[in-house]
Copies of this chain bind each other. A is one copy, B any other.
Amino acid sequence: MPNADQPSRRGRGRRPADQVRAEILTAAGNLLLVEGMAGFTIEKVAAQARASRMTIYKWWPSKGALALDGYFTVVAPTLAFPDTGDIVTDLTSQLVAFVHLLRDTPAGRVISQLIAQAQTDPELAIAYRQRYSGPRRALGVEALNRAVARGQLRADIDPESVVDQLWGACYHRLLVPDQPLTEDFARTLVDNVIRGLR
């Protein structure tokens, strides 16, 4: 694989590092959604982002790390946490968007296969937690803590366990589909748990 970055860009000046990084992440996320982990290679990301493999390895220690940062980047707009001031509205719209992402886009298959592969691949497991699930969990905890600060939820709730009862419950239906992932399910999850946390 040639260093695609240099020939085509040198004449017009180098892209700023931030832009290169952003284009690599977008290319990585999109490639993962199209091909899954099975078809994901550093070479393909490099070619699509017009960057060198050396540049990629400078920023990401492994293929899995790049894939997960890319995935986080491309799903982040869909999974943004709204902040309307009402926790039930915000959790419901976020969780409904999450259900649609898992059910109606290639993201569901990609994420279930990443979790599966992480069970027997310790390096991927660490990358998954550090680069995807950990940061996503933190966003959920922040949203719940904002609601506590506003007095919408009790001060003594354990936000971490609520993350498992909302998003974790959806991952459970994704991975073990005894029951369907639906909008109603998302709404019921929020209703069940928020009633008890007020």
Show the binding face of A for B, using Cβ within 8 Å. Answer: 112-113, 115-120, 128-129, 133-134, 137, 157-158, 160-162, 164-165, 167-173, 175-179, 185, 188-189, 191-197
Interface pair B176/A128, CB less than 8 Å apart: yes
With A165-B189, A165-B192, A196-B196 in contact, is A160–B133 under 8 Å at CB?
no
User: In the complex, A37→B178 CA distance in Å?
Assistant: 21
Of A116, A120, A129, chain B has the most CB atoms within 10 Å of the CB of A116
Classify the interface of chain A: helix, strand, loop or mixed.
helix
Number of copies: 2
- Which residue on chain B has the smallest CB distance to residue A185? B161
Interface pair A168/B172, CB less than 8 Å apart: yes
- Which residue on chain B has the smallest CB distance to residue A113? B119
Contact of A113 among B112, B120, B173 (CB under 8 A): B120
- Which residue on chain B has the smallest CB distance to residue A136? B178
A28 → chain B, closest Cβ, in Å?
Answer: 21
- Which residue on chain B has the smallest CB distance to residue A129? B178
- Which residue on chain B has the smallest CB distance to residue A112? B119
Of A169, A170, A173, chain B has the most CB atoms within 10 Å of the CB of A169
With A165-B192, A196-B191 in contact, is A176–B120 under 8 Å at CB?
no
Interface pair B137/A160, CB less than 8 Å apart: no
A176 contact set on B, CB distance < 8 A: 115, 118, 128-129, 133, 168, 171
User: In the complex, A144→B179 CA distance in Å?
Assistant: 17
Of A178, A179, A189, chain B has the most CB atoms within 10 Å of the CB of A178
- Which residue on chain B has the smallest CB distance to residue A170? B164
- Which residue on chain B has the smallest CB distance to residue A119? B116
User: In the complex, A171→B112 CA distance in Å?
Assistant: 13
A137 contact set on B, CB distance < 8 A: 178-179
A185 contact set on B, CB distance < 8 A: 161, 164
